[in-house]
Amino acid sequence: MKAVILTGFMGAGKTTVGKRLGEEWKLPVIDTDDYIEKKMGKKISEIFEEDGEDTFRQYERELLPTLPIENVVITTGGGIVIQEENRKWMNENGFVVYLHCDLDQIISRIEGDSSRPLMKNNKEQIEQILTTRLPFYKDCNVTIDTTNKSIAQIIDEINLEVKKSIGGDNK
Ligand code: S3P
């Protein structure tokens, strides 16, 4: 099965949903943030603080083409879609699922989370970031709205879409 790649804004549920999909489909899950943290031996917040956001974006860009493209679930950092070459790689090599979520719910889920440098911005700034990114997120195979939905519901919807698009029993 083609790699299933989850994108979406911070707090949309990518990591939780990705882990559950991996369990259900018995596939490995690669999380780009985790991968970068392990490789660099630093937390994302430290990379932003010490090396700057551009360096973090470079790590994301360099990482993607090294990832497997079959039989894997890839969960991505919320800003992976900013760079055109990342969108191109994801769309060429995977089945890209954008997990959408309303801003208010995003904020209530991750407000004050110090591990996410961009959450230091105020609500208007966060909204601006989301608005700017929306067209990039929409550059995907399928959009799933996660607002007010349980993880089980989200998983069901993804399963349906993946079956429709990739065919068969996800294999
Ligand atoms: C970011 C989202 C984060 C992480 C970094 C930047 C973003 O990942 O990659 O803090 O630009 O939206 P999550 O979406 O998993 O929070």
Tens digit of each residue's pLDDT (9 = 90 or more) over 9-51: 999 999 999 999 999 999 999 999 999 999 999 999 999 999 9
Average pLDDT of the residues in 47-69? 97
From CA 157, how far away is CA 55, in angstroms rounded? 35
More confident residue, 166 or 134: 134
Ligand 1 neighbour 10 (Cβ under 6 A): yes
- Name the pTM for this structure: 0.95
Ligand 1 neighbour 13 (Cβ under 6 A): no
Position 122 scores a pLDDT of 87
From CA 103, how far away is CA 39, in angstroms rounded? 31
Pocket test for ligand 1, best of 10, 30, 106, 125 (most atoms within 8 A of CB): 10
Position 166 scores a pLDDT of 73
Which residue, chain included where needed, has tokens 């959009």?
A: 143
Ligand 1 center to 29 CA (angstroms): 17
66-80, 107-121, 131-145: which has the minimum mean pLDDT?
Answer: 107-121
Ligand 1 neighbour 118 (Cβ under 6 A): yes
From CA 64, how far away is CA 70, in angstroms rounded? 13
Q: What does the pLDDT look like over 84-131, one tens digit per residue?
A: 999 999 999 999 999 999 999 999 988 888 888 888 888 899 999 999
DSSP codes, 15-28:
HHHHHHHHHHHT--
Position 171 scores a pLDDT of 42
Which atom of ligand 1 is the closest one to the Cα of 133? 12
More confident residue, 122 or 83: 83
Ligand 1 center to 67 CA (angstroms): 18
Measuring from atom 10 of ligand 1, which residue has the nearest CA?
116
